[in-house]
């Protein structure tokens, strides 16, 4: 069935050798002559007015080269949702007010990090403390403290979706249930702390090396906040040690490095500590989810009414997108004949929540999945059957929002049931052991242009050479997920070349073609892959012309690139090598090199995405009756990502997702008190280690996504969704404790047992 | 006051002037430019900074440079000194897909190196134990464990280390 040579193969990563030998350069490894070291002064209060800042002592400390506060900056607000400027609510350094513990107040650059640190302690800030709000309920109460003056309600984003006659549908339902869920904040916990190094050229232009998922967005927002032209800013993404959504906005240290490099004429580096990352870093949105669902007696869904409050923290960050997406995902997986959603993004005096792997879906789908299992119990159905009965299929639509293209959901449900011996185990497992299910669907990139880019969503430049090689240039950001390798595979396949024949340059805004919106929403394989194919096809048209002329081919001949050759289909005897064909095309063009640009922008694809992934996961657990400790015995996963361009990389995504989902379900959480994060190291923030990860089996459901390059779609984020609901369902099966409030802790399990 | 010490790193002696407060991690990265050694937390919790000191896996972020006088230090850069022929551990990490973002990789490889040196054919449980101090956020450890087992086989077949 697989007609591909390189696509679909377990090709080792493009950068694996550099990473295995320690020669891969990450941002903090960049060292430039005369470089200064920056540090950030942060607010000790969750909410306060800044009355006065005195930087004079700090500035006169020997070795200090620059001290800056918000007053020194052009005072331009920024935020990723450029399409709606009112959502842009952040300054690089606080102006007048601080809104969370850790909010950035001032910055110092000095000849060494210790001097910069000492200088921070010499900055005197006079604050007037203001009352803070630390959860959604407190923030939306009448008379609650106002966090941003422009937003007296503290509700910064409202999003509604409605279709079908929902009131009638509920009235005609045989069974209606209402539940409230609370899901918590977790950390991206990428291993590489954020860092940035800026250098100012003699002509005043800025080059910034930064650990980011979104070079183009950083370029644009850095330009606007510095009041410079976009083309005067060059962003280079070195190797990045993970992001998971936590590195997709312009951040203070990027701005300050650039600002101070310009001001001092010397390169400036900022590197965050792990403590800063935990204390102030972005996190997954906590949500309060009220969900009402209706069914017919036989388990057929009739209606869903979903109301979600997102605890956004002090700034919008990527909250608007999370607000949109949790509503869209509320309508995914199953066929809801009527649906109503109201999402509200609420400011609180905590570190801002933002994008994190799954982007609104892990929260929303945790509620969906838990309710499906609850309803199945009440209706006397197998949780698997209620899902099969309502599962979305290819061609289904969410009116005005999305159409489902390829869909292997039902196959995935059946497969995972078979692999896990679901029906038998659901009946026969002894007390203390349980089996549970969780499902997911996710987007292959977003289609809504919130950044208001004036460029295509994805772009690629391909250069073909007469030595039989090609060079791919793309702004796509490989942050560890492996898009450099996947894009190379796509190009190698299109040209019939090997991986060794392709060179790639990526994520340098001065060299790679405008533009690419970045690594988020699982968009790169589909969107950038399509741009690569577009460019490749333009080159191939020229090569085909050359071959056609060389062999005097009838115009009806189809020509292809394969095994390093270009030839009419079925006639490999009439072939030119790829290099010869390039040389000939170049001759025809009187020496002009063979270069093509390719683009992809999704059009007419609704409001969400061109294509969805689907999948199901079963977890088996054992719960210690005395201690309430949950031990996951095994995971089984069946997932549909269309064509797996690189199955080994897809497996890697799955295995990483399971680790993250396991942490989300059982062990990871921020311990907060009065807006302060108390667990600020890896000892107290319990991310699963090698000892915690259970065995897992996976099956890939074959589908072909017509909108994706060579049939591919999303593979990296969706898999982070099903693990928590699957474990919660299994814990309920084992103990009778139904978790509606993550994480699932021994304490909650034991308390439920006692209360029963 | 800085003091001059001699560090023996990857088989070569280096005289470096260090402050008594400087960690081995800082000196390796900043003074010797061995940036393959990473810093993920600075508090001994993540293992990204792991190096070998006299054959033992150690968190370089917690070790003071001045205590390292006269000890043999191996970093990831010392695994394949020629740069051409890789160490079997590195080969296996590449082939098995054990590397994603790569930030934990050097530390993982050093912990694996330490393990395989004393236990050339470890069980899965022993591998998990050996890297339990090395956090990885990308891979879920599965392919890392496979890679270490694979490297063990390779090393057994070639009669030990290649470097
Ligand atoms: S950096 Fe040393 S253990 Fe994390
Ligand atoms: S590969 Fe990213 S932390 Fe291990």
The answer for residues whose C-beta is within 8 angstroms of residue A392's C-beta and 6 or more apart is A332, A333, A334, A335, A404, A407, A409, A441, A614
From the CA of A73, how many Å to the nearest CA of chain B? 31
State mean pLDDT over A246-253: 98
Q: Using 50 as the pLDDT threshold, list the residues of chain B that sit under it.
A: 161-163
The answer for residues whose C-beta is within 8 angstroms of residue A110's C-beta and 6 or more apart is A36, A37, A39, A61, A63, A64, A65, A116, A119
What is the per-residue pLDDT for A31? 97
What is the per-residue pLDDT for B84? 84
List pLDDT tens digits, range A146-186: 999 999 999 999 999 999 999 999 999 999 999 999 999 99
Select from B139, B115, B105, B157 the least CA-distant residue to A17: B105
ipTM exceeding the 0.85 mark: yes
Q: Are strands B12-18 and B3-9 parallel, antiparallel or unpaired?
A: antiparallel
List pLDDT tens digits, range A155-164: 999 999 999 9
Q: Is the pLDDT of residue A69 over 60?
A: yes
For ligand 2, whether the C-beta of B14 sits within 6 Å is: no
What is the per-residue pLDDT for B163? 42
Decide: A154 and A146 in contact? Cβ < 8 Å: yes
Q: Is the pLDDT of residue A231 over 60?
A: yes
What is the per-residue pLDDT for B1? 85
The answer for residues whose C-beta is within 8 angstroms of residue B131's C-beta and 6 or more apart is A690, B47, B108, B111, B112, B115, B141, B144, B145, B148
For ligand 2, whether the C-beta of A691 sits within 6 Å is: no
Decide: A457 and A527 in contact? Cβ < 8 Å: yes
Decide: A57 and A120 in contact? Cβ < 8 Å: no
What is the per-residue pLDDT for B159? 60
The 3-state DSSP class for residue A185 equals coil
List pLDDT tens digits, range A19-63: 999 999 999 999 999 999 999 999 999 999 999 999 999 999 999
Residue whose CA lies nearest to ligand 2 atom number 4:
B136
The answer for residues whose C-beta is within 8 angstroms of residue A525's C-beta and 6 or more apart is A444, A483, A486, A645, A708, A709, A712, A713, A714, A715
What is the per-residue pLDDT for B81? 83
Give, in order, the Cα–Cα distances in Å from A414 to each of A253, A397, A701, B144. 49, 23, 11, 30
Interface test with B, best of A12, A15, A17, A21 (most B CBs within 10 A): A21
Residue whose CA lies nearest to ligand 2 atom number 3:
B136
What gap in Å lies between CA A131 and CA A120, rounded to an integer?
26
CA atoms lying within 13 Å on the CB side of residue A527: 29
Q: In A, which residues are within 8 Å of B78 by CB distance?
A: none
Burial per residue of A328-356, b for 16 or more beta-carbon CB atoms within 10 angstroms, e otherwise: bbbbbbbbbebbbbbbbbbbbbbbbbbbb
Select from A429, A281, A446 the least CA-distant residue to A350: A281
Q: In A, which residues are within 8 Å of B133 by CB distance?
A: 689
State mean pLDDT over A633-659: 97
Average pLDDT, chain A: 97
What is the per-residue pLDDT for A2? 52
Looking at the CA of residue B102, tell me the nearest atom of ligand 2: 1
Q: What is the dihedral of CA A555, A561, A564, A568, to 10 degrees?
A: -30
What gap in Å lies between CA A563 and CA A154, rounded to an integer?
61
Answer yes or no: do B132 and A189 touch at CB < 8 A. Answer: no
What gap in Å lies between CA A417 and CA A157, rounded to an integer?
40
State mean pLDDT over A381-409: 96
Peptide bond connecting A684 to the previous residue in cis, omega within 30 degrees of 0:
no
List pLDDT tens digits, range A269-280: 999 999 999 999
List pLDDT tens digits, range B62-102: 999 999 999 999 999 999 988 789 999 999 999 999 999 99
- The B3-9 sheet, strands edge to edge: B12-18, B3-9, B72-74, B50-53, B56-59
List pLDDT tens digits, range A667-686: 999 999 999 999 999 999 99
Relative to the alpha carbon of A13, which ligand is closest? Answer: 2
Classify residue A343 by its DSSP letter: E
Q: Where are the beta strands (DSSP E) in A164-205?
A: 175-183, 195-200
H or E segment to which residue A271 belongs: strand A268-271
Our mutation pick for probing the ligand 2 site, out of B39, B50, B97, B102, counting the most ligand atoms within 8 A of Cβ, is: B102
Answer yes or no: do B142 and A693 touch at CB < 8 A. Answer: yes
Give, in order, the Cα–Cα distances in Å from B88 to each of A335, A500, B54, B105, B161. 51, 22, 21, 14, 8
Answer yes or no: do A241 and B102 touch at CB < 8 A. Answer: yes
Phi, psi of A144 (to 5 degrees): -65, 150
Give, in order, the Cα–Cα distances in Å from A682 to each of A187, A245, A283, B37. 11, 19, 15, 19
What is the per-residue pLDDT for A739? 98
Placement of tokens 């695994």 in the chain = B79
Q: Are strands A233-236 and A206-210 parallel, antiparallel or unpaired?
A: parallel
Decide: B88 and B82 in contact? Cβ < 8 Å: no
Decide: A148 and A157 in contact? Cβ < 8 Å: no
What is the set of domains in chain B, with CATH numbers?
Answer: 3-79 (3.10.20.30), 88-157 (1.10.150.120)
Q: What separation in Å is there between the alpha carbon of A273 and the centre of ligand 1? A: 11
Q: In B, which residues are within 8 Å of A687 by CB distance?
A: 135, 137
Q: Is the pLDDT of residue A94 over 60?
A: yes
Longest Cα separation, chain B: 51
List pLDDT tens digits, range A31-42: 999 999 999 999
Residue A469 corresponds to which tokens in the numbers above?
A: 């090689």
Select from A29, A272, A191 the least CA-distant residue to B30: A29
What is the set of domains in chain A, with CATH numbers?
Answer: 27-130+194-270 (3.90.1170.50), 287-448+606-755 (3.30.365.10), 457-600 (3.30.365.10)
Global pTM value: 0.97
CA B6 to chain centre: 20
CA atoms lying within 13 Å on the CB side of residue A31: 10
Decide: A677 and A100 in contact? Cβ < 8 Å: no
Decide: A406 and A706 in contact? Cβ < 8 Å: yes
State mean pLDDT over A551-566: 95
Decide: A608 and A328 in contact? Cβ < 8 Å: yes
Select from A202, A194, A201 the least CA-distant residue to A26: A194
Answer yes or no: do A660 and B137 touch at CB < 8 A. Answer: yes
Give, in order, the Cα–Cα distances in Å from A697 to each of A415, A554, A621, A625, B97. 11, 51, 15, 27, 17
Chain B touched by A22 (CB under 8 Å): yes
What is the per-residue pLDDT for A401? 87
Q: Which chain A residue is nearest to residue B142, measuring alpha carbons?
A: A655
Interface test with B, best of A9, A14, A22 (most B CBs within 10 A): A22
Q: What separation in Å is there between the alpha carbon of B25 and the centre of ligand 1? A: 9
CB count, 10 Å around CB of A511?
13
Q: Is the pLDDT of residue A1 over 50?
A: no
DSSP string over A482-505: -HHHHHHHHHHHHHT--GGGEEEE
Q: Is the pLDDT of residue A636 over 70?
A: yes
Report residues whose beta carbon is within 6 angstroms of any ligand 1 atom: B 39-42, 44-49, 59, 61
What is the per-residue pLDDT for B162? 45
The 3-state DSSP class for residue A269 equals strand
What is the per-residue pLDDT for A756? 81
Q: Is the pLDDT of residue A729 over 80?
A: yes
Q: Where are the beta strands (DSSP E) in A470-582?
A: 470-474, 502-506, 559-562, 565-568, 576-577
Our mutation pick for probing the ligand 2 site, out of B41, B50, B100, B143, counting the most ligand atoms within 8 A of Cβ, is: B100
């Amino acid at each position: 069935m697989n007609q591909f040579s390189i696509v679909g193969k377990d090709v080792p990563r493009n950068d694996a050798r550099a990473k295995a030998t320690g020669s891969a350069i990450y941002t903090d490894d960049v060292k430039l002559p005369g470089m200064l070291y920056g540090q950030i002064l942060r607010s000790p209060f969750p909410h306060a007015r800044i009355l006065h800042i005195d930087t004079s002592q700090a500035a006169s400390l020997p070795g200090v080269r620059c001290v800056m506060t918000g007053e020194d900056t052009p005072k331009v607000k920024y935020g990723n949702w450029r399409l709606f400027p009112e959502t842009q609510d952040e300054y690089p350094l606080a102006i007048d007010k601080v809104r969370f513990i850790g909010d950035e107040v001032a910055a110092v650059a000095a000849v060494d990090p210790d001097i910069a640190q000492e200088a921070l302690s010499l900055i005197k800030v006079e604050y007037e403390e203001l009352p803070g709000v630390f959860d959604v309920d407190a923030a939306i109460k009448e008379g609650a403290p106002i966090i941003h003056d422009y937003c007296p309600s503290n509700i910064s984003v409202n999003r509604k979706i409605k279709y079908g006659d929902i009131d009638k549908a509920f009235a005609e339902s045989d069974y209606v249930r209402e539940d409230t869920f609370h899901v918590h904040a977790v950390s991206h916990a990428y291993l590489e702390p954020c860092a940035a190094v800026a250098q100012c050229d003699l002509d005043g232009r800025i080059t910034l090396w930064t650990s980011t998922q979104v070079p183009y967005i950083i370029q644009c927002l850095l330009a606007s906040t510095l009041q410079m032209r976009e083309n005067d800013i060059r962003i280079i993404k070195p190797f990045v040690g993970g992001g998971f959504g936590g590195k997709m906005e312009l951040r203070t240290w990027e701005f300050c490095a650039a600002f101070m490099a310009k001001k001092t004429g010397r390169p400036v580096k900022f590197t965050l500590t792990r403590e800063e990352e935990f204390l102030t870093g972005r996190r997954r949105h906590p949500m309060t989810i009220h969900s009402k669902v209706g069914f017919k007696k036989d388990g057929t869904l009739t209606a869903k009414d979903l109301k979600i409050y997102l605890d956004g923290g002090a700034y919008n960050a990527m909250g608007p997108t999370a607000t949109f997406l949790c509503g869209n995902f509320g309508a995914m997986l199953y066929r809801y004949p009527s649906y109503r959603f109201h999402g509200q993004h609420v400011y609180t005096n905590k570190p801002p929540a933002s994008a994190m792997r799954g982007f609104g879906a892990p929260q929303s789908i945790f509620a969906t999945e838990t309710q499906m299992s609850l309803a199945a119990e009440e209706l006397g159905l197998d949780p698997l059957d209620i899902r099969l009965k309502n599962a979305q299929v290819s061609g289904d639509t969410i009116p005005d929002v999305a159409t489902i293209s390829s869909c292997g959901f039902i196959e995935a449900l059946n497969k995972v049931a078979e692999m896990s011996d679901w029906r038998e185990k659901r009946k026969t497992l002894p007390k203390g052991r349980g089996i549970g299910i969780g499902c997911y669907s996710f987007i292959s990139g977003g289609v809504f242009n919130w950044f208001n880019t004036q460029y295509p969503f994805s772009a690629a430049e391909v250069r073909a050479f007469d030595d039989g090689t090609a060079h791919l240039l793309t702004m796509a950001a490989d942050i560890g997920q492996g898009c450099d390798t996947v894009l190379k595979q796509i190009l190698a396949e299109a040209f019939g070349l090997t991986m060794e024949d392709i060179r790639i340059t990526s994520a340098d805004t001065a060299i790679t073609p405008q533009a690419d919106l970045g690594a988020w929403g699982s968009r790169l394989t589909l969107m950038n892959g399509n741009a690569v194919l577009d460019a490749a096809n333009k080159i191939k048209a020229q090569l085909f012309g050359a071959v056609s002329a060389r062999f005097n081919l009838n115009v009806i001949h189809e020509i292809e690139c394969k095994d390093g050759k270009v030839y009419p289909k079925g006639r490999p005897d009439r072939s030119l090598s790829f290099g010869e064909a390039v040389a000939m095309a170049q001759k025809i063009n009187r020496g002009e090199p063979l270069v093509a640009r390719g683009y992809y922008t999704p059009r007419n694809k609704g409001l969400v995405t061109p294509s969805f992934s689907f999948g199901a996961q079963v977890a088996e657990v054992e719960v210690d009756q005395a201690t309430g400790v949950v031990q996951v015995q095994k995971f089984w996963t069946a997932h549909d990502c269309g064509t797996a361009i690189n199955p080994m990389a897809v497996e890697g995504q799955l295995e990483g997702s399971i680790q993250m989902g396991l942490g989300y379900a059982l062990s990871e959480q921020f311990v907060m008190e009065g807006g302060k994060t108390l667990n600020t190291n890896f000892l107290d923030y319990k991310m699963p280690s090698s000892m915690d990860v259970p065995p897992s089996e996976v099956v890939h459901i074959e589908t072909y996504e017509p909108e994706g390059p060579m049939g591919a779609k999303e593979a990296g984020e969706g898999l982070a969704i099903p693990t928590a609901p699957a474990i919660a369902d299994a814990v309920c099966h084992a103990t009778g404790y139904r978790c509606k409030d993550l994480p699932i802790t021994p304490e909650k399990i034991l308390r439920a047992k006692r209360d029963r | 006051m800085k003091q001059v010490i001699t560090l023996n790193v990857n088989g070569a002696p280096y005289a470096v002037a260090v402050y008594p407060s400087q960690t081995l991690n800082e000196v390796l990265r900043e003074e010797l430019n061995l940036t393959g050694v990473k810093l993920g937390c600075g508090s001994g919790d993540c293992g990204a900074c792991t190096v070998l000191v006299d054959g033992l896996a150690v968190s370089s972020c917690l070790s003071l440079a001045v205590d390292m006088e006269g000890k043999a230090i191996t970093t990831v850069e010392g695994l394949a000194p020629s740069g051409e022929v890789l160490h079997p551990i590195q080969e296996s990490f590449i082939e098995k897909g054990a590397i994603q973002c790569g930030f934990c990789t050097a530390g993982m490889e050093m912990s694996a190196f330490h393990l395989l040196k004393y236990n050339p054919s470890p069980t899965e449980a022993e591998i998990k134990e050996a890297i339990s101090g090395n956090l990885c956020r990308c891979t879920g450890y599965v392919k890392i464990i496979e890679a270490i087992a694979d490297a063990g086989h390779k090393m057994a077949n070639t009669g030990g280390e290649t470097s």
